[in-house]
Amino acid sequence: QVQLVESGGGLVQAGGSLRLSCAASGRTFSRFVMGWFRQAPGKQRELVATITSGGSINYADSVKGRFTISTDNAKNTVYLQMNSLKPGDTAVYYCAADIPPWGAPIPSRPNEYDYWGQGTQVTVSS
């Protein structure tokens, strides 16, 4: 089992930056995929970025060039650096983890992830 706790959200003006953290605890696996998702009121939860234990990284088109996902394996932590924030980035941000079978595709939908944090609110004002 994996437990995830997000932190780092807050209120920021458009053009500003935030750095989200996701601390993982519990059983450690050598193979994993971590994802950041976000959900705005009235909208579906959507993928922001993924990173695998093998180092593969993917971003949603809407955040490419602005957001950076990274890991610090020694701290069991995943980060999402968010720059040039826009009001459209306002949402609850969740980190998620999955332990896929060997050779499986990288999960891209929320229902493909087994472990979730409680979320952290990001609000970007004009």
pLDDT tens-place string over residues 65-87: 999 999 998 888 999 999 999 99
Closest alpha carbon to 57 in 108, 101, 93, 99: 108
- Residue 25: C-alpha distances to residues 1, 5, 50, 93 (Å): 9, 9, 19, 19
Compute the distance between CA of residue 30 and CA of residue 28 in angstroms, rounded to an integer. 7
In this predicted structure, the answer to whether residue 60 has a pLDDT above a threshold of 80 is: yes
- What average pLDDT does the chain have? 94
Both tokens of residue 60? 């949603």
